[in-house]
A and B are shown apart, each in its own frame.
Chain A
């Protein structure tokens, strides 16, 4: 019984990591540009699928690095082609455009890779290897996933807090016009935010691929869940997104105890709707500040 509990917990944490990363990706772009990028989930998909293809002739670490790099380039290209030249678009317009981009990306992936499910090999061992942690059996891949994601999040945090570039991006988020007047190249900051978002998404996609597997269609579901996580934690708050991601992952995982698995996806959406109706500023968000924002 306890065994089962911990298995569910671990599964919840694993999926929660991906949700958290997608949520963080949303936040990076949202913080810099105010845009809600619905194509966020596609970055995760692209990372995993590209890595699988590259792994055919590259060693695993190189394949992953290359896949992440390529996805970052794609993220930047998307921004440059579709978004850069728009004049103060409304958030709604951007949501619809990014939905369109997500559709195109998915269709391209479908034609490129087909409908099949793919997965990267386990980084260490295989699907039946497991470590014993305090009496609980855990796949090493889970540790890889949690570990690499944690490192990525910490690095991102350090980047935004302590580097010049990171602070410039935060300035952009706070007040675009003022930042521009300070000489910050805001257009490039926007592109950079897309590049970073794509990178972190792709990395997560690679790292979780052995466990959750990758398919051309996983993007939109992840986008909705990532958005849920971002809202749950409070739009723009990346640390809260991590907590929110784990909460969602665990709730989903344990829902199997009370609901048929088929309805698992509905949980995220129900949380999303509940948050939007009741507390759109998020669990950890500032209600007053949220109400003063123009939506």
Chain B
């Protein structure tokens, strides 16, 4: 059974059909990429999978149960984490605090527990903090723990966002253009991090424009064009697909 299954999903905004009858699946342990020209519907697809949008048609299932129609926080609770195309770190909070929020689902302390500062919450907080720090250490950014997250460099912020998404120990990670705005060296570093993440057992679905990143690390690639899927295959096969070449790789984009 694939970990994530998207079946016939569609979404329209007024007169625009952003996503139309898209189906694909992601097997456990793989890195799958979604590519396509601007406006192809990639981010809409992500929003449909992660619960920020409800599909008009079709189903999304994760770990064999339907998740379409669920709210984002419920989907996160089931082990599916995501990052955002435009970095959405929490302002006025340190990098560590950002990552600790990523681990929110692993905690239980609620309003009353927090207000009364019950002793068991101290242990939980310590645990949350330690594990968050471990995640940051894994990605090599432990040094930034106490720095205000939004004051870090763009590349560093991207890694913090990755750490935040990883902190909940998700089974699957949705990465929305993790290399956007990064230079070549930073992109290569990001590729290494993503492969390392997969090596630790996290399945990855990644939307990306940077062809070098995508071709190098993906096991399979889905190609979207005007909201429809036009290819779903290994990187080599996709590179040779005439339809894809015509629609996308023909651009001087890579």
Chain A residues with CB under 8 Å of chain B are 288, 292
Contact = CB atoms under 8 A, between A and B. Distances in A.
Contacts of B13: 292
Interface in B67-96: none
A288 B14 CA distance: 7
Interface SS, A side = helix
Nearest to B13: A292
A292 B14 CA distance: 9
A292 B18 CA distance: 14
A292 B13 CA distance: 8
Q: Which 3 A-B pairs have the closest CB atoms?
A: A288-B14, A292-B14, A292-B13
Interface in B153-205: none
A169 B32 CA distance: 50
3 contacts: A288-B14, A292-B13, A292-B14
A288 B13 CA distance: 9
Contacts, number: 3
Interface in B1-20: 13-14
What range describes how many residues of B lie at the interface?
under 10
Contacts of B14: 288, 292
A218 B13 CA distance: 43
Interface string B240-253: 00000000000000
B226 to A, nearest CB: 20
Contacts of A288: 14
A126 B64 CA distance: 80
A114 B173 CA distance: 66
A292 B15 CA distance: 12
Nearest to B15: A288
Nearest to B14: A288
B175 to A, nearest CB: 25
A289 to B, nearest CB: 8
Contacts of A292: 13-14
B15 to A, nearest CB: 9
A288 B15 CA distance: 10
A293 to B, nearest CB: 12
Nearest to A288: B14
B54 to A, nearest CB: 13
B13 to A, nearest CB: 7
A288 B16 CA distance: 12
A16 B112 CA distance: 49
Interface string B14-29: 1000000000000000
A292 B16 CA distance: 12
A209 to B, nearest CB: 46
Interface string B22-54: 000000000000000000000000000000000
A292 to B, nearest CB: 7
B178 to A, nearest CB: 25
A86 B149 CA distance: 27
A17 to B, nearest CB: 36
A170 to B, nearest CB: 22
B16 to A, nearest CB: 10
A261 B13 CA distance: 46
